[in-house]
Structure 1
Amino acid sequence: MRNTKSTLFVITLTVIFFMLISNVTNILTHKDSYTVADQTREKQFSPRRALPQITDSNDNLIWFLQISDIHISMFREKSRVTEFSEFCQITLDVIKPTVVLATGDLTDATDSDNIGSHQNKGDWEFYKQVLKEANVLNKTIWLDIRGNHDTFNVISLESPQNFFTNYSIQGKENPRSYLYQIEKNGILYSFLGVDACLKSGPRRPFNFVGLLYNQEIDEIKLLIEKVKESKSEHTIWFGHFPTSCVLSQSDGIRSLLGSLKQGTVYVCGHLHTLVSNMYTLQNDGFLELELGDWKNNRRYRLMAIDHGFISFTDVGHREWPVVLITNPKDALFVIPEKENLESIANSTHIRVLVFSVSKITEVQVNIDETGWLTCIHKNGPLYVLEWDPSIYGRGLHHIKVFVKDESNREKIISQPFSLDGARPSFKLLSRIALMGNFSLIFQGAFYVFLVLLVLPVISYRFIHKLVIQGKLRKPVMRKGFFRTWIRKMWILSSIDRLFWPIVLYPIYLSFGPWSIGYIIEDYIGVVFPWGIFVNGSFLPGSFTYVYGTLHLLILQLQVFNLANAVDSRFRYHIVKADLKKSFWGNMKLTLPFAMLMILQIILAYLFWLIYGTVTFLLGPLNTWSVIFTGVLWHLALTLPVKCIREATLVWQVESGMLHQTDDIVN
C-alpha cells in the first residue's frame, strides 16, 4: 500500500508540474536582474535617432493620467461617484494632463442585490454627467475603453444595452480598439487602445477573461501600420485586461504589443489589487503596468514621457503632493530594447514633476544619503537640479526627493537608478500575475482536481479487484489516520452503485454541457467547460474552469462524507456496531454532508437568480449536482448487506475494530 500511495502522489505531482511548466519557464527565464557590461550594451539597446540632451528644458516632455475600474454604481457607495467627480474637477485642474486614459469597467453593471448583472442606464448616466459637469473635454483628451463589466449582458455592439456607445466619450466613434494621436513640441505621440471584450458578453461569472478575435487582431494590425506610417516616436498601449487574461484566436497579444518598436508600455486594470504593484517587463520588450482600482482603493496613475523615457507613479486620491522623478529614471522600469541609458549618463539635470493643490514651497534631492540639495523651479510642474552623472557610473544608486507645499503637506519618494544597466527584480507574484496565463492555470486546476477526484477511487477499485482475484497480496498497513481513510475509500470504491456515479459524473463534467438557458437575457446559450455557445458565437472557456473547479472540490468533500457513511453502514452490517449511535455520533456523520449540501443549494439558487428558471432546471452542474449527491447519500445510508459483502473479503471487524484479514467472510 505504501508503494500505491507513493505512485498516486507522484502522478499527482507530475500532472501539476506539466500544467505549470510553460508558465514557470516563461517567468523564470525572463531577464530582469542583470548588469549590462560596457561591451554588450550595444546589443541590449536598440539603435534609435539621437534624442536632444536631457537638460532643464521643457521640451520633449508630456504627462498624462490613467484611471481604471471606476465601477460607478447607482446602488452602492455614493462616495465612489462624488470622489470621481473630485478627480475630474480638482485633480485634473491641478495636474493638467494632456490625456486621461480610462481603462475599462467604467460602470459596475450589477443589481441592487449585487447578484444579478446587467447594464444599468443609471450607472452610465452618472458617468456621463460627472464628465459633463467637470467639463473634462475642455481640460484634457479623455480616452475611455470598455471593460468586462461594461459588457455584462450585452449581446453585441448594436445591442440597445450597449450603453458605452452613447454614454462614453469615445464609444460612438471608437466602439472597440482605436488609435488617437497628438503632437506636442513637434513630437507625435500615439495612444493605441486594445478592446479585448467578448463580442457577446454573458452575465457573471462567465465574463472574466478577454478574447482577441481574428477580425479584431486584423484591425489592430492596421492601427499599427498607421503608427508606423505616421512616424510616431512614442506609443502608449492601453486596455482593460492584463495580457495574462487575454485569449487570442491567432497572434498572441504579447507578440502583437511587442511588434511595434515605438510601443514602450501597456497599461491596464481589471485585477484591482489582487497583487500589489503589478508591474513587469514582458519578454516581448514592453512594460506592462496594471493599475489598482478606483472602486475600492481610489487609485490613479501619473505617467510622463521625458526625452524618450517613460516614468510613472501610482497615487491615491487626495494624496498631495504628487511627485514623479523623470530623470534619472527608476532602474526597475528601464526598457533595454527601447531606452538608451547613455541619454541619462549624458544628462545635465535631475528632473522632477511636482503637483499639489497648494503652492510648492520646497523641493529637495538627496542621492545616496550625501545630503539634501534644493531644486530650481522651471515652468509648470518641472523642478530641476544640475548634477554630474559620471559620479554614479557603476551599480545601483538611490535618489530621494522631498517636497513640501504651503499647507505643510510633505512627501518623500525614493527610487533606484543606474547608468550601466544594473537593476533590481520585479516581485515574483507580480510577474506570475502578468506573465502567466490565467486561462491555462484555470484549465489546469480544473483537470488536476478532476484527476484527484477520480483517480484514487479508480485505483482503489483496481487494486481491490486484484486482491479479490488473488493476483495481489492484501495490503498491510499500520494503524492510524491514513489507514482509516484508505479503508473507508477502499470500501466505497468496491460498491458498484456508488462507484460508477462517483466516477462517471465528474468525467461528464469534463466535457459538459453544464447548463442550458438564457446566458444573455433573451438569448439561449449552452455552457461547456471549454466554452459557451450563445447567439451563434463561441466564447472560449476560461473562468468556466474556475466555476467547475469549485464544484469538483465540493464533490470531493462529499465523496469523503459518502465514505464515512459507507463505513458506518459497513460496521452496522458486520458487528451491528451502530444500532444505537449517540446524538453526537449522528451529528458527526450527518453535519458535514448537510453543510456542503446547503452550499450546493445556495450555488444553485444563485445561479437561478442570475440566469433564470430555464437555466436552473437544465443545469447538470448546479441543480442536478444537488440531486446527485442527495441520492448518493441516501444510497450510502441504506446499503443492503449484499452491497458490502465483497468488501469483507479484505476488511473484517473484530471486537468492534476493523482490520485487514486473510480470512474469507461468507
Structure 2
Amino acid sequence: MASELPLPLLALLFLVILPPLCSSWRPADDDDASVSRSVFPMDGDVAWVVQVSDLHISAYSPERSADLELLGTALRAIRPHLLLVTGDITDAKNQQRTTSRQDEYEWVTYKKTIDAIVGRGGIDKSRIFDIRGNHDMYGVPYRGGKLDFFSTFSVNSQLKRLSTITSILLQGDRSYQFLGIDDTMSVGIRFPANLFGHPTDKRIEAVNSELQYLTNHSNAPVTKVVFGHFPMSFTASSEKGQRYESVFTRQSISAYLCGHLHAKVSKQLWRYHEMRTTEGHKSSFWEWELGDWKDSRLMRILAIDGGAVSFIDHTLNQALQTSILITYPTDSRSMNMLESEKWSMRNDINVLVFSHQVIRSVSARVFDSYSGFKVVEEIPLQLVFSSSADRPLFHAKWNAENYRSPSPTRYWLQVFVLDSHGVKISSEQRPFSVEGKMAIPTRSWLSYLVFEVQWEDMYRVLMWSNMAFTILLLFTPKILYHFVSRSSSYQRWVMSVLTSPIQQRKSYLWLVWFLMEGTRSKPFWSCLVIYVLWLIEMPWFWGRATSEDGEIAQMYLSGWSMPFHDGGLTGNKLSNPDVLVITLPFLYLVVIPVIVLIYGLFAEKAIVCSRRSRRVEYSAGSANTLAESARLLPDAPRALLMKFSGKMVSMVIQFWGSWTRRALLLACSITAAIHLKLCSKLMSAYGMVPVALSPPLTWMPLLLLGAAAYCTKLHGD
C-alpha cells in the first residue's frame, strides 16, 4: 500500500509550489505610449460631441455602412465639435462567423463611408477621431504590418495620428479635454481569444501625465472626458498591476466613454466609480457604455456645459428629426457628481435643440413628483445669440432655491419644442437635483455581472477554484482510501453501505464510497493526475494565433505563447485573461464531467459485482426455501415456480445494473458531444490540423472516457 502514494504526493507538492501563471504571464511591453495632440477653438462654454461605436462594417452585411448615411444627415443638424468612433470599426469575420480575418474590402468601405459622411454632414475630417477595437486587431501579427489596415484606412492614420493616446482640447471660456486610448493587444490574437483591453505601465503613466499636464498649465478650469473601446470590467491590469480607475479618480475626470458590449446586453450600462485618492480625498467619475451601431444603430450626443456633462442616445432607424438635450440641470440618475465641497448652485436652464427645421419656441416645465407630477413652473427659453450660427443653445433663468429637496428625484424637468412646421416635440421627463444629489437606479443582475464585475479577477477565481476542486476530487478520496482500505472492517462497511435499505442510506456515506471506489484503479487515476497537471503547466493545443497563414503558437491555461518573428512578435505570453472563453467551458463542461463519469463507471462496476455475488447467495438460499414450499405441489407446477422465481431475481438485478450503466454511457456521450463541439469551434478559429493533432485538448478526454467504459464492462453485459 505504501508504494501507491509517491506519485500523488509528488503531484500535490508540485501543485502547491506551482506559481500562479496568470499573474506572471503578461502582454509584452508596448513602446508606443506617445501622445498625438489636437486643439480646436470653442465658442462659449458649451461643447457637444457625437459618439458612435461598434460599427462592425462587414462585407456580408452592407446595410451597416449604407445606414451610416443617416449619421451623416444627423451630423448636419447636430454640427458637433467632434465625432468619436470608439472601436470595432470592421467586423473582421467570415460569413459563418466561425473565424476572424482582416478584410481590406471592409476597411476601404469604411474610408469611403467616412468621406461620404464628411460631405453629407459638413463636419471637418480633422474633427473625426477613431480608435481600434478588438475586432480591428483580430489576426494582426503586429501594428504597422500588412494586415494592420487601421494604419492605412482609418481617419487617425490619414491625419498621422497613430499614437495609442489621442489628446483633444476644445478651448473657449473653459477648456474641455477629450483623451482617447487604444488598449488593443500589441499582437492581435484571432477570435475568440481577443476580448480584453491590455494597457501597459508606460501607457497608463502617459495617460496620467497627459491628464495632469492641463491641470498644471491651464489658467481656465478643465473638464476631462476619456474615451476608449473597452469597459473597465473588460480591461486587464498592467504588468505591475496598475489600473485606469485609480488614475481617472486621481485626475478627476468627469466621464469615461466606451463601447464593446453592444445593446443586446443593455442599452443603459452606466457605472459610477468612487474611490479615495492617496491624499484621502473622495473622487469619482462616470463610466458610460454606448450600445452598438451594428444591430441597434445607436448614436450618442454628449455635451459639456460649464463642466457639467450630460448626454442623450438616439436610435437612427430613420433620419433624425429633432433632438433635445438638456445640458443643465443634469439628470440626477446618471449624470450628477456628488461633490458637495465643489458644488455650486446655478440659477439657469440650458437646452441644446438639434433640428433641420427652424425652431419657433422652446419652454421647460418643472413637475413635482410629490404632488402627482403637477406642473410647478413653466419657463420659456430664449436662443443664445453668438458669433457662431452653429450654437443651437436655448437658455433661461430660474430660482434654483425653489427646488432644493432632500430627494434627488422629487422634481422632474421636461422641455417642449415647436418648429416652423407646427410640429411639437418634447423631451423625456427626467429628475434633477439643484444640489447635485444622485439617485443611481438599481441595475439588473445581468448588467451588474457584465459591467461591474472585474472579469480579469473573476477569471482567476473561476479558474483556480476549478483547479482546486479538481485537485481535491483527485487526491482526497485517494488518500482516504489509502488509509481506510488497510482496515479489515472496510469491506464490511462497504457491504453495509450497499445493502442497507434505501430509506436508511446516508447520502454522504454513498458519496464517500463513490469517490473512493472511483480512485481504486491506479492506472486510470494516475492518468487523470498527469492529465490535470498537463493542463495546468503545459500547452493545451497548437494553432495559428494570428493570421490564417501565420506561425503556429501554443495556448496555455494562462494565455498564448507567441514564437519569435522578424516582424516583431515577442515570444512572450499574451492574451490573459482573454483565453477564458476557451479554458472555462473546457474545464467546467469537459474536464470535471470526465473525472466524475470515470468515477461513476468504476463505482457502477463495483455495485454490479457486489449484487451479482449477493444474487448467487440469494439464489442458493431461495432454492432451498422454494424446494421446501414446493414439496406440497405437483411436479409440473413445482418446476415452473422454481424457474419463474429465478428469472425474476435475475431480471431485477440485471435491469438495475443495465440502466445505471446506460445512463452513465449516455452522460459520457453528451460530454463527448460538448467536447467535440468546443474543439470544432477552435478548429474553425485556429486551424483544423494543429488543433486536431493536439492530444491534451482533442483526444485525451475521449480516450479516457472510452477506455473507462471498456475497462468497466463486465462479461455478460
Both structures adopt the same fold (TM-score exceeding 0.5): yes
The CA RMSD over aligned residues, in Å, is 3.3
How do 1:643-662 and structure 2 match up within 5 A?
Answer: none
* Contact 2:225 2:256 (C-alpha < 8 Å) held by counterparts: yes
Which of 186, 193, 201 does residue 188 from structure 2 map onto? Answer: 201
* Contact 2:76 2:122 (C-alpha < 8 Å) held by counterparts: no
* Contact 2:553 2:560 (C-alpha < 8 Å) held by counterparts: yes
Q: Secondary structure at the match of 1:532?
A: strand
Provide the residue aligned with 1:448 in structure 2: 465
Q: CA deviation at 1:99?
A: 0.6
Q: 1:81 to 1:573 in 2, by over 3 A?
A: same
How do 1:605-620 and structure 2 match up within 5 A?
Answer: 605-620=680-695
Provide the residue aligned with 2:324 in structure 1: 323
Provide the residue aligned with 1:461 in structure 2: 478
Provide the residue aligned with 1:341 in structure 2: 343
Q: Secondary structure at the match of 1:589?
A: helix
Larger radius of gyration: 2
Distance 1:404 1:484 in 2: 74
* Contact 2:601 2:709 (C-alpha < 8 Å) held by counterparts: no
Q: CA deviation at 1:486?
A: 5.1
* Contact 2:365 2:414 (C-alpha < 8 Å) held by counterparts: yes
Amino acid at match of 1:561: L
Q: CA deviation at 1:381?
A: 3.2
Distance 2:243 2:227 in 1: 16
* Contact 1:491 1:567 (C-alpha < 8 Å) held by counterparts: yes
Distance 2:584 2:597 in 1: 19
* Contact 2:537 2:557 (C-alpha < 8 Å) held by counterparts: yes
Distance 2:300 2:449 in 1: 22
2:608 is equivalent to residue 591 of structure 1 = no
Deviation string for 1:231-277 (max 9, x for gaps)?
Answer: 2722221111112222212332222333434x321111112243452
For structure 1, list consecutive stretches of 5 or more residues without a partner in the other structure. Answer: 1-18, 20-57, 642-666
Provide the residue aligned with 1:67 in structure 2: 52
**TM-score, with length taken from structure 2:** 0.74
Q: 1:200 to 1:111 in 2, by over 3 A?
A: same
Deviation string for 1:427-476 (max 9, x for gaps)?
Answer: 45556645542111012111112223331343222333332233998598
Provide the residue aligned with 1:192 in structure 2: 179
Amino acid at match of 1:562: I
* Contact 1:376 1:383 (C-alpha < 8 Å) held by counterparts: yes
Distance 1:174 1:339 in 2: 39
2:397 is equivalent to residue 386 of structure 1 = yes
Query: Which range moves more in the overlay, 119-128 or 614-623?
Result: 614-623
Q: CA deviation at 1:492?
A: 1.1
* Contact 1:103 1:239 (C-alpha < 8 Å) held by counterparts: yes
Distance 1:545 1:632 in 2: 29
Deviation string for 1:86-115 (max 9, x for gaps)?
Answer: 11x211112111111111111111112211
Deviation string for 1:469-513 (max 9, x for gaps)?
Answer: 339985987437766555433321232233233343233322332
2:374 is equivalent to residue 373 of structure 1 = no
Q: CA deviation at 1:611?
A: 1.2
* Contact 1:453 1:552 (C-alpha < 8 Å) held by counterparts: no
Distance 1:549 1:125 in 2: 37
Distance 2:694 2:363 in 1: 64
2:560 is equivalent to residue 560 of structure 1 = no
* Contact 2:349 2:395 (C-alpha < 8 Å) held by counterparts: yes
Amino acid at match of 2:116: E
Amino acid at match of 2:505: K
Distance 1:556 1:324 in 2: 53
Which of 405, 415, 423 does residue 438 from structure 2 map onto? Answer: 423
Distance 1:603 1:525 in 2: 19
Q: 1:419 to 1:364 in 2, by over 3 A?
A: closer
Provide the residue aligned with 1:532 in structure 2: 560
Query: Which range moves more in the overlay, 374-383 or 300-309?
Result: 374-383
Query: Which range moves more in the overlay, 201-210 or 474-483?
Result: 474-483
Which of 414, 417, 421 does residue 429 from structure 2 map onto? Answer: 414
* Contact 1:320 1:409 (C-alpha < 8 Å) held by counterparts: no
Provide the residue aligned with 2:228 in structure 1: 239
Q: CA deviation at 1:336?
A: 3.9
Q: Secondary structure at the match of 2:310?
A: strand
Query: Which range moves more in the overlay, 141-150 or 347-356?
Result: 347-356
2:142 is equivalent to residue 166 of structure 1 = no
Q: Secondary structure at the match of 1:335?
A: coil
Q: 1:632 to 1:340 in 2, by over 3 A?
A: farther
Q: Secondary structure at the match of 1:286?
A: strand
* Contact 2:68 2:117 (C-alpha < 8 Å) held by counterparts: no
Q: CA deviation at 1:206?
A: 1.4
2:142 is equivalent to residue 156 of structure 1 = yes
Distance 1:545 1:145 in 2: 25
Which of 483, 493, 505 does residue 479 from structure 1 map onto? Answer: 505
Distance 2:48 2:692 in 1: 54
Q: 1:357 to 1:503 in 2, by over 3 A?
A: farther
Count of equivalent residues: 580
Distance 2:230 2:179 in 1: 14
Q: 1:339 to 1:142 in 2, by over 3 A?
A: farther
Which of 490, 506, 517 does residue 532 from structure 2 map onto? Answer: 506
Amino acid at match of 2:519: S
* Contact 1:466 1:472 (C-alpha < 8 Å) held by counterparts: no
For structure 2, list consecutive stretches of 5 or more residues without a partner in the other structure. Answer: 1-19, 21-42, 276-283, 385-390, 498-503, 563-568, 613-649
Q: 1:195 to 1:339 in 2, by over 3 A?
A: farther
Q: Secondary structure at the match of 1:384?
A: strand
Q: CA deviation at 1:300?
A: 1.9
Distance 2:658 2:59 in 1: 50
Amino acid at match of 1:278: L
Q: Secondary structure at the match of 1:622?
A: helix
Q: CA deviation at 1:116?
A: 1.1
Provide the residue aligned with 1:4 in structure 2: none
* Contact 2:339 2:436 (C-alpha < 8 Å) held by counterparts: no
Distance 1:472 1:151 in 2: 64
Residue identity over aligned pairs, in percent, reads 22
Amino acid at match of 1:500: S
Provide the residue aligned with 2:301 in structure 1: 302
Distance 1:610 1:69 in 2: 21
Deviation string for 1:314-346 (max 9, x for gaps)?
Answer: 23224754332221122242234599431xx2x
Q: CA deviation at 1:623?
A: 1.2
Query: Which range moves more in the overlay, 221-230 or 599-608?
Result: 221-230
Q: Secondary structure at the match of 1:212?
A: coil
Q: 1:421 to 1:636 in 2, by over 3 A?
A: farther
* Contact 2:541 2:690 (C-alpha < 8 Å) held by counterparts: yes
Query: Which range moves more in the overlay, 599-608 or 316-325?
Result: 316-325
Q: CA deviation at 1:626?
A: 4.0
Q: CA deviation at 1:203?
A: 0.3
Distance 2:200 2:553 in 1: 20
Distance 2:340 2:553 in 1: 46
* Contact 2:403 2:411 (C-alpha < 8 Å) held by counterparts: no
Distance 1:471 1:151 in 2: 65
Amino acid at match of 2:583: G
2:211 is equivalent to residue 224 of structure 1 = yes
